[in-house]
Structure 1
Amino acid sequence: MNMEQLTQGEPLAFIFAFLIGLSMLLYAILDGYDLGVGILSSIVDEAHRDRMIASIGPFWDANETWLVLGVGLLLVAFPAAHGVVLTTLYLPVAVMLLALIFRGVSFDFRRKVAKKKQAAWNRNFFIGSLLVALSQGYMVGRFIIGFQEGLTAQLFACFFGLLVVAGYVLMGACWLILKAEGELQERAVGWARRAIWTMVLGAILSSLTAPFVDTRIYDRMFAFPEVTLLLAMPLISIMLTLLMHFILGILPMENDRLAWMPLAISIAIFVLGFLGLVYSFYPYIIPGQLLITDAAAAPESLKIILIGTAVVLPFLIGYTALAYWIFKGKASDLSYD
């Protein structure tokens, strides 16, 4: 690739890096809450479990489309990076894919098998949801430290896995606050209060470990003016966490007032966390290994892919928005008729 091609390809490379990041963020938010609901479904009785699963029924499979889009764009726009990621994370990726399949099968089978077998499929739905969340958190943890090896790196990835599980549980609980009523809504408030502080603990543990496994993150954390940006986002997150704790303390309210706010706050926390992670390894597509511009496909290929993405992306956004509009309001009883 000559210098002129490299210059022409740079804007396209950053456009695709943005689209991949956007897809992964939307996936984490949208599929995060339904994975959280799946994890929480293990601690309720059958009636509440059915209502919880009914709340995600119209959305859960479509939410996973954003993961497919993000991975697909990584493959075609940054094939070298895609190869590094899948080669290094082969085992957790395999676990995640098997868990996604297992979870999808369990979702349908749990109410369609004989009554005596339903408990096993309910348990399988929980296990699938938990394994997906844990594997995703572990992979993200490995990714943001550039796939470093060693005990400290593994601890960081494991702490980050627990952080993601707590984050998904928080999202799931906040989703149920919005979609449920009565006793289930009250229990969801309690789940959210415990999840938010568990997530804070996971964030502290992973943050304390991060400087010892990646000197680049350490340098940015304590260099000026980067330190001001990296401190601003955690401070805002702390303020949002305290606001969340206060709001959860007064919910539920009459006429379902402010039931939407915990979910909105949790989404804002996820967005801030995502922006902080992206900033920590920008301009790399593989932290410390591959720059965005170095890993990008040829400009001619990127132009063709961009045309296809411009056609597909509005349909995905439109379908997602339409589904949430049609099924707005409180969740109804689960039915397979």
Structure 2
Amino acid sequence: MDVTVIWAAIIALGLFIYVALDGFDLGIGLIFPFFPLDAERDLMMHSIAPVWDGNETWLVLGGAALFAAFPTVYSVALSALYLPIVFMLVCLIFRGVSFEIREKANRTRNLWNLAFIGGSAGATFFQGTILGSYLHGIPVSNGVFSGDPFFWVTPFSFFTGMGLMATYALLGATFLVLKTEGDLQRRMHRLVWPLTLVLLVFIVAVTVWTPLADSQVASRWFDSSFRIRLHPVPVLVAIVAVLMFKAVVQRRDSAPFILALLLVLLGYIGLLVSIWPFAIPNSMTLWEGAAPHSSLTFTLIGAVIIIPIILAYTTAGYWVFRGKVHRGTHD
């Protein structure tokens, strides 16, 4: 296989794992305001305490892999999206600090609650903004970013920011259905279907907006061989939505979380098909942005060693802390 495609697949997989894992713990921060009791908030925090920082490993891996395998893409993307990336990182810092301090705080606990909520919401929104700006297209000239520092401030990028907030909120609610029980779990179940409907609205809106805004995406969707590959996606989304409704009605524990992940996966597949074979949509292909073949091959050896290690300790962490969380649980 083409080593460039292998590296693209590694980065795509790493980003999906990040969205799946860090998505639910950021989502818990998004639904935090709807549960004002300290005892419930403590339980929500304890459900992710053993894993939240490890989840962010995949974001670091994605950035490092992009730098190693696609340095030109890394340079262009970082130059273009410097401001939203910095805003996202600041929000993640506030969120991480609040996570550690809130447990010990008394008089300032409400302040740290706000920092946790704001950090989670801000990080999610700016991740969605980055995604929308990337899909909309980054201006590139002679291999360097040639746009305005605020080119990412568009209605579409803000819309995708809100869409990712809905996505993460659904992941957070379904994860808490999996991890909690009793009254808190019942209230989480009541959140799942409305959040699913909101996410479906965003999926439909982005599906309509994207080809209307980008003629090349429209061409790939409707006039090329990719059309056949995309046909099953909306059907599968509808099937997953029906299964989600049944899972909520039947008060299932694990099914809502699995189905929420499937919705995210289907949207992600649609995104990847839409931009293929570009590393930067409509500006730079994967091969144009890739490092030399010798560099790709050399760094791939390191990836083959390190990725199984990350997968192993991530899996071990979730296995050790599997099961329900209860009142009085501490990280």
TM-score norm. by structure 1 comes to 0.91
Correspondent of 1:41 among 32, 42, 61:
32
Q: How does 1:185-200 map to 2 (within 5 A)?
A: 185-200=185-200
Q: Which residue of 1 aligns with 2:125?
A: 134
Alpha-carbon shift at residue 335 of structure 1 (Å): 5.5
Letter in 1 for 2:131: V
- Percent identity of the aligned residues? 34
Computed over aligned residues only, the root mean square deviation of the Cα atoms, in angstroms, reads: 1.9
Q: How does 1:57-206 map to 2 (within 5 A)?
A: 57-113=49-105, 115-147=106-138, 154-206=154-206
- Aligned partners of 1:281, 1:206: CA distance in 2, in Å? 14
Letter in 2 for 1:317: L
Q: Which residue of 1 aligns with 2:279?
A: 285
Q: Which residue of 1 aligns with 2:290?
A: 296
Letter in 2 for 1:59: V
Assess, with a 3 A threshold, how the Cα gap between structure 1 residues 324 and 336 changes in structure 2: closer, same or farther.
closer
CA contact under 8 A between 2:129 and 2:160: conserved in structure 1? Answer: yes
- Comparing 10-19 and 88-97, the one that deviates more: 10-19
Q: Which residue of 2 aligns with 1:21?
A: 12
Alpha-carbon shift at residue 207 of structure 1 (Å): 2.1
Assess, with a 3 A threshold, how the Cα gap between structure 1 residues 308 and 151 changes in structure 2: closer, same or farther.
closer
Any stretches of 5+ residues in structure 2 without a counterpart?
140-146
- Aligned partners of 1:125, 1:301: CA distance in 2, in Å? 40
- Comparing 18-27 and 190-199, the one that deviates more: 190-199
Letter in 2 for 1:136: Q
CA contact under 8 A between 1:55 and 1:331: conserved in structure 2? Answer: yes
- Aligned partners of 2:209, 2:154: CA distance in 1, in Å? 10
Aligned length: 321
CA contact under 8 A between 1:32 and 1:168: conserved in structure 2? Answer: yes
TM-score norm. by structure 2 comes to 0.93
Any stretches of 5+ residues in structure 1 without a counterpart?
1-9, 252-257
Letter in 2 for 1:271: L
Q: Deviations over 1:177-232 (max 9, x none)?
A: 10000011011111111110111111222222212321111112222543232231
Assess, with a 3 A threshold, how the Cα gap between structure 1 residues 269 and 168 changes in structure 2: closer, same or farther.
same
Q: Match of 2:323, SS?
A: coil
Alpha-carbon shift at residue 299 of structure 1 (Å): 1.4
Q: Which residue of 1 aligns with 2:2?
A: 11
- Aligned partners of 1:127, 1:78: CA distance in 2, in Å? 33
Deviation beyond 6 Å, 4+ runs, structure 1: 148-153
Correspondent of 2:261 among 263, 267, 272:
267
Letter in 2 for 1:259: D
- Comparing 47-56 and 195-204, the one that deviates more: 195-204
